[in-house]
Chains A and B, each alone.
Chain A
Amino acid sequence: KAGVTQTPRYLIKTRGQQVTLSCSPISGHRSVSWYQQTPGQGLQFLFEYFSETQRNKGNFPGRFSGRQFSNSRSEMNVSTLELGDSALYLCASSEPRGGSYEQYFGPGTRLTVT
């Protein structure tokens, strides 16, 4: 089975712009979660989608949004970019098995805001 894929892998944007990141989960996985990784804050949860519904959201401003499509692919959008949004954005997919789950991560999108 192919793993989680994320596009693009690298992105450079200017303050004030917006950006859209894409994530394709492992085939058969209905849940997609997004995380932000920075040297200062570590790995932080952004949001989780399951069958096109956002079930959980982390403590991030409204500039961060996401959506999930019927084929489970997901996008996240960051509007009005700030320098502090420079980070590695990781997407993970999962599918429950017997009430438990395991999240498998993609390679990430490294966003640099200048």
Chain B
Amino acid sequence: AQKVTQAQTEISVVEKEDVTLDCVYETRDTTYYLFWYKQPPSGELVFLIRRNSFDEQNEISGRYSWNFQKSTSSFNFTITASQAVDSAVYFCALGTPYNQGGKLIFGQGTELSVKP
């Protein structure tokens, strides 16, 4: 079965703190894709990053960084020096191979609140 677990339902931090959002996935596919999306109060899902199953290289983009570890089936997301604009719900998703009709299986989301 394919599943994504985001154990943290809500996280509250103070501005400038670092915060890590956890994501654990389950799949039997050898080829798969992992994604993070941000959903601000407006409701639109904003794409942040995609990682392929065969590429475990970690990535940094500004204040955002991602740690992909196949050995623990985890794809964690860290925000450094958090800001109020980071307040949103963040979703981790597992994508099936594209030629099977790319389907995203989402975790339940983590609501991040960054307070001044």
Known: A42-B109, A43-B91. A100 touches B98 (CB 8 A): yes
Task: Decide if A56 touches B33 in the complex (CB within 8 Å).
Answer: no
| Residues of chain B within 8 A of A99, CB atoms compared | 98
The total of chain A residues at the interface (CB under 8 A) is: 29
Task: Decide if B105 touches A45 in the complex (CB within 8 Å).
Answer: yes
Contact with A along B37-74 (1 / 0, CB 8 A): 10000111111001010000000000000000000000
Known: A100-B98, A102-B35. A45 touches B103 (CB 8 A): yes
Bound complex: CA A103 to CA B105 (Å): 12
Task: Decide if B106 touches A42 in the complex (CB within 8 Å).
Answer: yes
Interface-centre pick from A33, A42, A58, A96 (highest chain B CB count, 10 A): A42
Bound complex: CA A44 to CA B91 (Å): 12
Q: Does B100 contact A (CB under 8 A)?
A: yes
Q: Does B84 contact A (CB under 8 A)?
A: no
Task: Decide if A33 touches B98 in the complex (CB within 8 Å).
Answer: no
Contact with B along A93-114 (1 / 0, CB 8 A): 0101001111111111010000
Contact with B along A70-105 (1 / 0, CB 8 A): 000000000000000000101010101001111111
Known: A101-B33, A108-B43. A45 touches B50 (CB 8 A): no
* Contact sample, A vs B, 26 pairs, CB 8 Å cutoff: A31-B98, A35-B104, A42-B106, A42-B107, A43-B93, A43-B109, A44-B106, A45-B105, A48-B102, A48-B103, A56-B96, A56-B100, A92-B45, A92-B104, A94-B102, A99-B98, A100-B52, A100-B98, A101-B50, A101-B95, A102-B35, A103-B35, A105-B44, A106-B44, A107-B43, A108-B43
Q: Which residues of B contact A (CB under 8 A)?
A: 33, 35, 37, 42-47, 50, 52, 91, 93, 95-96, 98, 100-109
